[in-house]
Amino acid sequence: MTGPSGAGKGTLIELVLPRFPELAPAVSATTREQRPGEEDGVHYWFLDRDEFDRRVDAGEFLEYVDFVGNRYGTLRSEIDRLRESGKAPLLELETEGAKRVKRRVEGAVTVFVTAPVDELERRLRDRATESSGVIDDRLSVARKQLDEVTDFDYVVENDDRTRAAEALAAIVAEHLGSPATMARP
């Protein structure tokens, strides 16, 4: 799942996950600060920059990116852990990472979640967990990301969350049952 900050990827995932017990969210690693209510190992693995870079050098990441001053990445161990327990991993990524996963994981399916720009802005400002400078940076990245919509397999317009969740559930239902294979470097 990809799309700009504020498009509502997290909300849609929360709505759809309970309907598919075989689907499990992969926990990404990040160097950004933990927000109130976020738990290490649940929302993210919160790593300091040295630890993150050490793991990059050790080849532990399937992909990673710099996003608005922080690093985010998908650990191979996380995907392996979910697969070994018989689950289909669900990744939530910004657009570059999603494209890399699409290239590196055979059978990966990408879904771009989008929302009108004024709605994105409102959601980002309402979230207000970051400083206004960071919100402006996230918004300018979001505007660029909206242009990348054609690079993904599916687009879900999140103007109405119930309808968007139904659209996402239909995509998941169509693709579960054909497990993806992760390419090794």
Establish if 65 lies at the interface with ligand 5GP (CB under 6 A).
yes
CB neighbour list of residue 95: distance below 8 Å, 6 or more residues apart: 2, 3, 112, 145, 148, 151
Establish if 5 lies at the interface with ligand 5GP (CB under 6 A).
yes
Q: Which of 79, 92, 152, 164 binds ligand 5GP (CB under 6 A)?
A: 92
Distance in Å, CB of 60 to ligand 5GP, minimum: 12
CA atoms within 13 A on the CB side of 96: 11
Nearer to ligand 5GP by Cβ, of 72 and 152: the residue is 72
Distance in Å, CB of 94 to ligand 5GP, minimum: 4
Nearer to ligand 5GP by Cβ, of 76 and 175: the residue is 76
Binders of ligand 5GP among 100-119, rule CB under 6 A?
none
Q: Which of 55, 97, 105, 114 binds ligand 5GP (CB under 6 A)?
A: 97
Distance in Å, CB of 179 to ligand 5GP, minimum: 20
Cα distance between residue 119 and residue 4, in whole Å? 11
Distance in Å, CB of 53 to ligand 5GP, minimum: 15
CB-CB neighbours of 120 under 10 Å: 24
